[in-house]
Amino acid sequence: MAAPQGEAEPMRQDFPDPDLLHPIPATPRVVQLAPLIASQDAVANVSAGRFSYYDDPEHATGFLARNVLYNFGFSGARLEIGSFCAIATGARFVMPDAMHAMGGVSTFPFAILGGAFAAGLDLGAYPFPQARDTVIGHDVWIGMEALVMPGVRIGHGAVVAARAVVTQDVPDYAVVAGNPARVVRRRFPEDEAARLVALGWWDWPVQRIAAAIPALVQGGIAALERAAARH
């Protein structure tokens, strides 16, 4: 019996493994972030959902050290990356620990040098701006050498252009570019974006996602809604 229109039955049952560090054979430049993060117990404030990957021809496995910047843990903030995200070479995330206190005359962090400078005022007493978590939604594409500043939320299905500097929240299914990054277009109008978020296909079982790939890649929202209704 043929599969319903917009949804194909997978020909094979060898589904991709979300726990495999290098998901593409003989392609070490691509690493899945969830198993990479899990392998480095010292980093507890960064998380990634299934199948999200980072692509880098030279330093793929160095993502946490080279691409998550100023992650000293002072602020207590987190970096949360959703599922099915694609992050290109050199994209970087600045953690709130990079921020300097601006409530006084000087922005210099004297206390980090220790000694009499630290005795003058404890680092915890500096008027740092309130730290927010940086949250990357599901199905987000971040272009080469983009820079994501602390505390922003990049919505589900968004696209960040190469070398964009993201300083404020990005709506669901928006495309942003420039420095500072601005919305250049919407992939879907707000009402349709809300329908896609409600479907939450990124949370479906992998078998269901595999069957819905034609609707996800070639179809529209209605086709995906029909695929969801059949399950």
Q: How confident is the model at residue 147 (pLDDT cuts 50, 70, 90)?
A: very high
Q: Does 100 participate in catalysis according to the annotation? A: yes
| The pLDDT of residue 7 | 54
Query: Does the residue 76 lie in any domain?
Result: yes
Give the tens place of pLDDT for each residue, 91-124: 999 999 999 999 999 999 999 999 999 999 998 8
Pairing between β-strand 147-148 and β-strand 79-81 as defined by DSSP bridges: unpaired
Q: Who contacts 57 (Cβ-Cβ below 8 Å, separation ≥6)?
A: 29, 89
Catalytic pick among 100, 138, 156, 231 = 100
Number of structural domains in the chain: 1
Q: What percent of the chain has pLDDT over 90?
A: 84
DSSP character at residue 203: G
Query: Does the residue 8 lie in any domain?
Result: no
Query: Does the residue 205 lie in any domain?
Result: no
Supply the mean pLDDT for the chain.
Answer: 93
CATH code for position 50: 2.160.10.10
| Threshold 0.75, pTM exceeds | yes
Give the tens place of pLDDT for each residue, 48-82: 999 999 999 999 999 999 999 999 988 899 999 99
Query: Does the residue 227 lie in any domain?
Result: no
Give the tens place of pLDDT for each residue, 5-48: 555 554 557 899 999 999 999 999 999 999 999 998 878 999 99
Q: Which domain holds residue 62?
A: 30-103+110-187
The DSSP annotation for 104-132 comes to SS----GGGG-HHHHHHS-GGGS-PPPP-
Q: What percent of the chain has pLDDT over 70?
A: 94
* Residue 210 host element (H or E): helix 206-211
Is residue 149 a contact partner of residue 163, using CB atoms and an 8 Å limit? no
CA 143, CA 157: separation in Å to the nearest integer? 13
Give the tens place of pLDDT for each residue, 90-100: 999 999 999 99
